[in-house]
Amino acid sequence: MKKIIMIIVAFTLLTITNVTYSQSGGFGLGIVLGEPTGLSAKLWTGSSNALDFAAAWSFKGEGSMLLQVDYVWHDFELIRVSSGRLPLYYGIGGRAVFSDDPLVGVRIPVGLDYQFANAPIDIFLEIVPIFDLIPSTDFDLGGGLGIRFWFN
């Protein structure tokens, strides 16, 4: 067990010392807490655009499995920070909630994504208006706080 912990620590230190703004490219995987709560992933498609995914647990009703995907744009110039970057992001996407009464809706995420300067980690906070279309038209609000580790 000690060997595994030492390998993980060594790998993490090597990764952190060799990364600058890895969050603007590659693939990130982590967790999101809120509505929904579960796994979060992000895949950059350009210098300011990304696909943002979640496979999570929704607490609506008795709780259900939820899948979502958003296409997001990042504004890196709006908020300046002394270390790292803090882009505002916004986008459009969809969600499907699998339960006894399944839901399908359109998501409009807006959030902040702090990207550490010398670590392959980002922390995000988002609020998401949701327009459910199936089984009926309804408005909902989601949001969460999350963290991701970046692989290049």
Average predicted confidence (pLDDT) for the chain = 87
CATH code of the domain containing 120: 2.40.160.20
pLDDT at 17 exceeding the cut of 60: no
Q: What is the pLDDT of residue 18?
A: 42
What mean pLDDT do residues 93-116 have? 95
Strand partners, 28: 42, 150
Q: How confident is the model at residue 8 (pLDDT cuts 50, 70, 90)?
A: very low
**More confident site: 25 or 1:** 25
Q: Domain of residue 104: give its range.
A: 2-151
Q: How confident is the model at residue 152 (pLDDT cuts 50, 70, 90)?
A: confident
What mean pLDDT do residues 65-87 have? 96
Encoded tokens for 38 = 């579960």
Most confident of 21-30, 96-105, 126-135: 126-135
Q: What is the pLDDT of residue 24?
A: 65
What mean pLDDT do residues 23-39 have? 91
Strands (E), the chain: 27-35, 37-44, 49-58, 64-75, 88-98, 103-107, 110-115, 121-134, 138-151
Domain count, the chain: 1
Q: CA-to-CA distance for 18 and 30, rounded, in angstroms?
A: 20
Q: CA-to-CA distance for 4 and 9, rounded, in angstroms?
A: 9
pLDDT at 139 exceeding the cut of 90: yes
Residues 132, 51, 63, 137, Cα dihedral to 10°: 0
